[in-house]
Amino acid sequence: MNGARVLVVDDEVHILRLLRRTLETNGYTVEAAESGREALEAVGRSVPDVVLLDLMLPDIDGLEVCRQLRERLEAPIIVLSARGEERTKVSALDLGADDYLTKPFGTAELLARLRVALRHAARSRTGPVIRAGGLVVDLDRRLVLRDGAQVHLTPKEYEALKYLAQHMGRVVTHRALLSVVWGPEYAAELHYIHVLVNQLRRKIEPDPAQPRYILTEPGVGYRFTAPE
């Protein structure tokens, strides 16, 4: 991903400077914006490959910036927020952000999230067969194999797994998953999702108590990962 252009939006100049240094050292090209307005102007000039967006901005509400960026951009957006702001994170994700990082974060975590976001953007349309560890989701044949053996899923379990797998590596909010599986009119019935995901884990996880594929993002949603 060397050379990928990152738009960093943060009103703290020190953080901005450190992020620029860190990202440039790791081979990224960095464009910086110190306000929501600057960010929106920046994407008008050149299209970034990925956006790092702090939600606490001096001028426009961070969520609004997120919404407007999503309208203009295909590129993944990673929002930066403080701890304890799960509701804000969830709103940002529901408004089109792809992932979030909780401040303060380590460099390794930041780089990992950037890699996932860019990899996903590079093949934004997943192929007909998604593989993660010993798990295979065959979208054409609506088949799920675990270590080569077919797993029998209910239609809703299959829809949930399909959506999670298509968004591999990225966080999927409870609400998003619920809308996909049940339809938007059920968006308030979040408890359905917890029950459904637990059923799904019992069928696909080697140890449902310590999930490897479907990870819980506390208070936000779930993340499908491929175990290393």
- State the residues that interact with other proteins by CB under 8 A: 83-84, 86-87, 104, 106, 154, 156-157, 174, 182, 186, 189-192, 194-196, 198-199, 209-210, 216, 218-219
| β-strand partners of 87 | none
Nearer to other proteins, 163 or 182 (CB): 182
Nearer to other proteins, 150 or 216 (CB): 216
Answer for the pair 71, 44: CB distance below 8 angstroms, yes or no: no
The one-character DSSP state at 35 is S
Q: How far is the CB of 209 from other proteins (least distance, A)?
A: 5
Answer for the pair 100, 78: CB distance below 8 angstroms, yes or no: yes
* Integer angstrom CA distances of residue 180 from 87, 183, 205: 20, 6, 22
- Which residue in 4, 122, 33 sits closest to 74, CA to CA? 122
Q: How far is the CB of 74 from other proteins (least distance, A)?
A: 31
Nearer to other proteins, 5 or 192 (CB): 192
Q: How far is the CB of 189 from other proteins (least distance, A)?
A: 7
Residue with tokens 């054409």: 140
The one-character DSSP state at 184 is G
User: What amino acid is encoded at 220 in this protein?
Assistant: V
Nearer to other proteins, 40 or 208 (CB): 208
Q: How far is the CB of 4 from other proteins (least distance, A)?
A: 27
User: In what order do the strands lie in the sheet containing 29-33?
Assistant: 29-33, 5-9, 50-54, 77-82, 99-103
Nearer to other proteins, 39 or 101 (CB): 101
Q: How far is the CB of 211 from other proteins (least distance, A)?
A: 8
